[in-house]
A and B are shown apart, each in its own frame.
Chain A
Amino acid sequence: MAKSKSNTSGMKRVLQVRRRRANRSRGGDGFIFTILAAFGVFFAYPLVYAINNAFKPLNEIFLVPPALFVKSPTMNNFADLFILMSRSWVSFSRYIFNTMFITVAGTIGLIVFASMGAYVVSKYPFPGSKKFFNLVVTTLMFTGYVTAIPNYLIVSGLGWVDTYRSVVIPAFAMPMGFFLLKQFIDTIPDTLIEAAKIDGGTEGWIFLKIIMPLIKPAWLTVMIFSIQALWNARASNFIYKEQLKTLPFALGQILGGGIARAGVGAAVTLFVMIVPLAAFMVTQSNVIATMANSGIKE
């Protein structure tokens, strides 16, 4: 009797979920808002500073103590940047194309290769699958500083120096991407895959039509990491031909001008930041939106 009573009250609370999420006290909400607001200022500071700096005239950039917000915004820094760009020996659009190509190709390859592998490692106990995953976890922890030399030896052994391949193909192997995707696929119930098999789905079909849509938040997140890494890649170890050099490399040369180019430098910083930032905003709203309609259920 008592049990059924508690059940009905429970059901009532479930029905309330639609209006206001259950088990949420107003006090707790207030607490969370306060914490987020307080720390938000602390974390957002640099971004605000970098954006403002790009629009500051020179005298404001060198203001002591520095001001956070710009007083008289100007586009001069960007104008100067474009003048400098047009003077460069290789046309500037070429650097932009190089970096875009590397970023797009590397990211697509990583997502396709890593999610295919992660799917079978997560869902099938084939001989070696556990061992392979442990290997990936282990390599996550090796710092890039020491593997730089062996990496160069391998790339040059393959004859890939001065090609896009030298940056694009190794990007496919990012262990972080494989690891994250595998962890996500683990949360998909096996019964879903079995049901699809009974319906006559082939492995390829299941992977494309069931797994990939369900792990959208995961590959969008991997995409952010990959774009961030590749967009900022200087590739100075592998690429020596001026026509193939990347955008961060070219911008680094502009910044080499030192203090005289502080204004341009601020514009460059914003310019480089904008792409990962935009990618992040687009994918994040997507990651959150998928939640509304994914509902992985058995």
Chain B
Amino acid sequence: MSLKNYTAKKKRNLNYLLKSMKEYKTCYLFLAPYAIVFGMFICAPVVVSIFYSITYFKIFEPPKFVGLQNYINLILGDDVFLTAVKNTFIMAAVTGPLGYLASFLFAWFIYELPRYLRAFVTLVFYAPSISGSAFMIWQVIFSSDSYGYINGLLIQLGIVERPILWLSDPNYMMATMLVVILWMSLGAGFLAFVAGLSTVDESLYEAGLVDGVKNRWQELWYITLPSMKGMLMFGAVMAITQSFGVADVTTALAGFPSTDYAVHTVVNHLVDFGSIRFEMGYASAIATLLFLTMILCNKAIQKMLARVGT
């Protein structure tokens, strides 16, 4: 292989690329409006914040390059961050898979209902996501005095003598948060599943029937799931995004910072540095680490979903 050969090949490749780009001219026209806006308001900020993660940047002064110092400080010198990582992993490991499963199962159960009931039941299950800050109601339910619903009930039944501090006793805080997060987990993924189920080709079910599908569970595994792989992927990405991004709930219910940092999450930590202390470089480093973790999870799930229906 001489150098001349190599450049000739490269040139041919480039020519080929240009030719096929010309061939798909209309495609680029169709994509351009979205691509431009996306580049400006989604991509650029992400790139900028990854860049900030290797700088010392305090909003009012220009950023100073510090290499990997932010990351080193995070991992070696920030105990609270390590607590936050642990908490976030617990939350993600429990609410991610469970929330995903619940989203799909409820969507599918609803699809099994008679048509006139579906819209209403979908609304009932989607209610926690649509009603904004409605999760504040959990504060009443888990209230730490005997007037809280759960404590009142437990005392009446004689199970406990003194009210349990659900929202400020580190022994119970995590469990309480998990319940609330799961309750909120029927979000974007759930709706996408409801819509996705409604586009599965009906004739496939009839064909399946002829081919010997015996019950609804077989129908689910061999026909429904494979025909909505795209939606399953969407739901998975949403589940990852939601379960790693917990922050508002812990702040609203357990306070900020929570007792002993028992439910302090990575995003809580990020908000602390980004919006309260204005250490943008450090906050960006936290965001970048979180982001990388989520991408790895996503890759793993993609591999798992490839096996659906086989």
Contact = CB atoms under 8 A, between A and B. Distances in A.
Binding between chains A and B: yes
A171 to B, nearest CB: 9
A290 interface: yes
B91 interface: no
- Chain A CB count within 10 A is highest, among B42, B46, B132, B230, for B42
Interface string A96-135: 0000000000000000111011111100101101001001
Given A117-B35, A143-B267, A221 B195 contact: yes
Contact of A141 (B30, B112, B195, B241): B241
Contact of A23 (B34, B109, B215, B298): B215
A184 B230 contact: yes
B31 A14 contact: no
Nearest to B28: A126
B152 to A, nearest CB: 6
Contacts of B233: 183
Interface stretch (A36-44, A69-77, A78-86, A87-95): A36-44
B131 A141 contact: no
A290 B133 CA distance: 31
A116 B288 CA distance: 31
A239 interface: no
A178 B48 contact: no
A29 B112 contact: yes
A291 B48 CA distance: 43
B38 A291 contact: no
B216 A24 contact: yes
B43 A139 contact: yes
Interface residues of A, number: 103
B42 A139 contact: yes
Contacts of A112: 33
Contacts, number: 282
Contacts of B52: 150
Contacts of A291: 198-199
A5 interface: no
B142 to A, nearest CB: 13
A187 interface: yes
Interface string A1-19: 0000011001101100100
Contacts of B287: 142-143, 145-146
Contact of A149 (B59, B202, B271, B286): B59
Where chain B touches its partner, the secondary structure class is: helix
Contact of A287 (B194, B215, B284): B194
A224 to B, nearest CB: 7
Contact of A40 (B125, B140, B219): B125
Given A145-B247, A281-B119, 8 more contacts: A32-B113, A129-B31, A143-B245, A147-B45, A147-B46, A147-B48, A182-B230, A295-B202
Interface of B: 17, 20-21, 23-24, 26-28, 30-31, 33-35, 37-38, 40-46, 48-49, 52, 59, 106, 109-110, 112-113, 115, 118-119, 121-128, 130-135, 137, 140, 147-149, 152, 183, 186, 188, 191-192, 194-196, 198-199, 201-203, 205-206, 209-216, 218-219, 227-228, 230-231, 233-234, 237-238, 240-241, 244-245, 247, 267, 270-271, 274-275, 280, 283-284, 286-287, 290-291, 294-295, 298
20 contacts: A10-B212, A22-B205, A40-B121, A40-B124, A43-B186, A46-B127, A65-B148, A117-B34, A117-B35, A121-B31, A148-B274, A169-B41, A170-B41, A203-B26, A280-B126, A284-B123, A294-B198, A295-B202, A295-B203, A296-B199
